[in-house]
Amino acid sequence: MAQRQQGDGGGGCVAVLLLLLAIAAIVWLFSTVGHFLGLTPSFNEATDRPDGWVTRNYRGVFWGYLLTVVLLAFAALVVWLGVLAASSDEAQEARYWLPRAAGTWVVLLVVALLLPIGERPGAKVASGVPGDGNVPDVVGKRAAEAKRIIEGEGLVAEFATPPLDDARCEVTSQRPEPGSELDQNEYVSLRCEEPVPDVVGKKADDADARLSDAGFSARPINEPSDYDLGRCRVERQRPRGTAPPFATVTLRLRCDEPPPQPDPEPIPEPEPEEDCDPNYSGACVPVHPPDVDCDDVDGPVVVTGEDVHALDANNDGSACE
């Protein structure tokens, strides 16, 4: 026992690591062979195609996985027997460490069940493999042409987001896959994207107008606090290229410093009100005293009280006429 502890981390550990690397290489080899033979789908194909396409297009999917696990177990058994047959100290240390690597064995088994994870040569997950059904392949076509082709098969084209311009919106995906079989007047779901105007370097107001005319909405992420977009230009935009109809385009702006505010104009002081005698109306007659005559009064006046200035010489109520 002491000798085993003394050998911890020595040649036995190296032997175990080499064994695990050999098993990983064997798993990858069988995975690759399974791809070429068409026995097992890739991990992407198995998860991205939940509509039964995998089972229809691969021969013996279950048996392909089972064969990979059986061959892996057989290879591990051969290597294990080789270790047991050895008589060196490294082999003894390997026999000591291998049972303690149970967790690693479990991980390798799970990896073997998930493999193959690479793409099988010739498989196109995104566009699918056309079959003998009546669903045409319209990915990459303009919305107007895609609708015409689908309606020509007696089916109905349905867009997730109706395109603003059928002649500009390009189909990016469709469900069900090309080659599927549908009854007459069933729906084919489509998604399309339209060109997004390039507004980088343009004034923010102009950019917003161009995006709005193209069917998109603009959202500045750093709008100035005074909301004056006239001094801002677009520095970056996302997305660029194409986007679904009516998508939101985020804009990062570069704004100039606001112009300096002019000094406020001084508020003029109110002119002092004239001190007019309440005994007269019309023109302002200064309060008595001092005594004034009509030359000091601008215009005719009406005596409403006591004629303290003696302006109404004929006592008819009107003076300075």
The region of weakest confidence among 33-42, 47-56, 235-244, 310-319 is 47-56
For the record, the structure tokens of 13 come out as 């550990």
Q: Tell me the C-alpha distance between 200 and 207, whole Å.
A: 8
Percent of the chain exceeding pLDDT 70 equals 57
Give the tens place of pLDDT for each residue, 177-186.
998 888 888 9
Residue 45 CA: distances (Å) to CA of 62, 108, 115, 181, 187: 15, 21, 12, 20, 24
Contact 293, 312 (CB under 8 A): no
Q: Compare 284 and 69 and report the one with higher pLDDT.
A: 284
Domains and CATH numbers, the chain: 2-114 (no CATH), 143-195 (3.30.10), 197-255 (3.30.10), 275-321 (no CATH)
What does pTM read for this prediction? 0.41
Residue 175, C-beta contacts closer than 8 angstroms, at least 6 positions apart? 188, 189
Of 33, 179, 42, 22, residue with least CA distance to 104: 22
Give the tens place of pLDDT for each residue, 15-66.
666 666 676 666 666 666 666 666 666 666 666 555 555 655 565 556 566 6
Q: Using CA of residue 92, residue 94, residue 99, residue 100, what is the dihedral sign?
A: positive
For the record, the structure tokens of 35 come out as 């791809």
